[in-house]
Amino acid sequence: MKSLMKRLASLKILSLVLIGAVIAALYVLVTRSDSSDGRGGTVAGDSARPTHAPPSPSPPPPTPAPPTTEPPPSPSSSSSTTPRPTDPPSTRTTASAPIGVRIASVTSADGLPGMGSHATVRITLDATPVPEGSSLWLVAKVPNIGSPPSTRFYAKAPVPTTPGDHELPLDLSGAQVGTSRDLLVVLADAAATPSLAENQANDGTTSWDIHRTALPQGARPVATQSVSKTRA
């Protein structure tokens, strides 16, 4: 009876050992299965990822800098930076400003066709004022005259400086038929006016011709027209 009991006890112990071994083997198998499933999920997840990285978002536009304002000038510098008021425009015409003058016509005084020994010159003066102290003159510019031949300027008459039409006589009795000359309206300043007056006063004085080779300094033409003598 005792031997039977010992055998049963041995079998019981052996069965417990076997059960423990089976449980341990099952635990190992379950652990390996879990670890292999985890590795498989990782590989599958990696292979499903796209091979190219997604494009990075474009950077936001730069923020514009706030406008800078200059500080107001200090009171000490206001005298140098404050613009001076402009002077009112002058109503006087300077000596170099254009004058509204034109020779409107040159006709024979006798009313016949062609140009004889006496002509009438009509000069139109616009509303532009003549500079103070200046004067207007009718001057004949005659080429190739005298000995030796040269160009000479003959002051014929002063021109009124009031706006409107002005008719002046012109003596061509000394000109040869077929010759031409330029008629000039000359603007003369205060210094040149006496020279032109003396030129007119000495018309016909050959000894004074040496002073006719040029206009006096301070005189300049503002209108011109050519005239030819066609008959006696």
CB 103 within 8 A of CB 225: yes
State the Cα–Cα distance between residues 193 and 134, nearest whole angstrom.
Answer: 7
Q: What digits encode the pLDDT tens for the residues 140-165?
A: 999 988 778 899 999 999 999 999 99
pTM of the model: 0.59
- What pLDDT score was predicted for residue 18? 76
Q: What digits encode the pLDDT tens for the residues 35-79?
A: 554 444 443 344 444 444 445 556 555 565 555 555 554 544 433
- What pLDDT score was predicted for residue 11? 74
Domain boundaries, the chain: 101-228
> Higher pLDDT residue, 216 or 10?
216
Question: What CATH architecture applies to the domain 101-228?
Answer: Sandwich (2.60)
Q: What digits encode the pLDDT tens for the residues 98-110?
A: 579 999 999 999 9
Measured between alpha carbons, how far is residue 139 from residues 145, 155, 171, 179, 218 in Å? 15, 4, 12, 16, 15
Q: Which residues pair with 145 in a beta bridge?
A: 150
End-to-end CA distance of the chain: 190
> Measured over all CA atoms, what is the biggest interatomic distance in the chain, rounded to whole angstroms?
190
Percent above pLDDT 90 for the chain: 52
- What pLDDT score was predicted for residue 180? 96
State the Cα–Cα distance between residues 109 and 116, nearest whole angstrom.
Answer: 8
